[in-house]
Amino acid sequence: MAVNAPGLRQDMPLRDGLVAHIIPAFMRQLFGLWAPPSWSDGTLSREYPRMYAVASELANLVTERTGVVLPAGEVDTLTLLLKAAFIRESPTHPRRVYIICPSGMATAQLLVARLKARFPSLEILGVLSIRELSAERVADAQLLISTAPVQSPRRGLQVIQVHPLLMAEDIEVVTNWLTTNTDRK
């Protein structure tokens, strides 16, 4: 696969999902059968360019081997199957993170609990208040997750600002960071 994720080869839910999706999609196209309208709004190619490229390669393989062209909505579904598999593939080493909040108290503890439940691959090194934030304190961190706007104290160290309740859009941003920063140790 074009994605640098060797674990995907053994991902049975991905394999089962691809089979369960590609075969019916192929049959619908081959025999001109009715298909439900596409749910896709066409943004997946921009949101997940790597996964979309792999999904397009898979669709091209179907076309090369069968002559049947899968429509864009089917490629989008393949993209989501690949994205889910990529998220399932946990890194071999945890991602070291500091949580930053204005005071370092209650809201940060709530955020830590939610992050640990949602992202077991994050190693939360601690909670720092904004006044405690320095390049030396976060020297071992790979990411800062903050409940307030802050500047990174170190070049190359990304800051993701989230709501203390860890909203859906925050989960998406952290997930994207995890999937696009797989090579960092």
Read off the tokens for 185.
């140790």
pLDDT the model gives residue 185: 42
| Mean of per-residue pLDDT scores for the chain | 87
For residues 82 and 120, give the distance between their C-alpha atoms in angstroms, rounded to a whole number: 20
Instruction: Of 36-40, 45-49, 62-66, 101-105, give the range with the top mean pLDDT.
Output: 62-66
- Among residues 154, 166, 174, the alpha carbon closest in space to that of 101 is found at 166
- Among residues 118, 124, 116, the alpha carbon closest in space to that of 144 is found at 124
Taking residues 58-78, report their average pLDDT: 93
- Among the four given CATH numbers 2.20.25.240, 2.10.240.10, 3.40.640.10, 3.40.50.2300, the one describing domain 95-180: 3.40.50.2300
pLDDT the model gives residue 43: 82
Whether the per-residue pLDDT at 46 is higher than 90: the answer is no
Whether the per-residue pLDDT at 33 is higher than 60: the answer is yes
Q: How would DSSP label each residue in 99-112?
A: EEESSSSHHHHHHH
pLDDT the model gives residue 26: 92
CATH number of 6-88: 1.10.1790
pLDDT the model gives residue 106: 77
Domain spans of the chain?
6-88, 95-180
For residues 98 and 79, give the distance between their C-alpha atoms in angstroms, rounded to a whole number: 31
pLDDT band of residue 139 (cuts 50, 70, 90) is: very high
For residues 111 and 162, give the distance between their C-alpha atoms in angstroms, rounded to a whole number: 9
pLDDT band of residue 6 (cuts 50, 70, 90) is: low
Task: Quote the percentage of the chain above a pLDDT of 90.
Answer: 52
163-179 pLDDT per residue, tens: 988 998 998 899 888 87
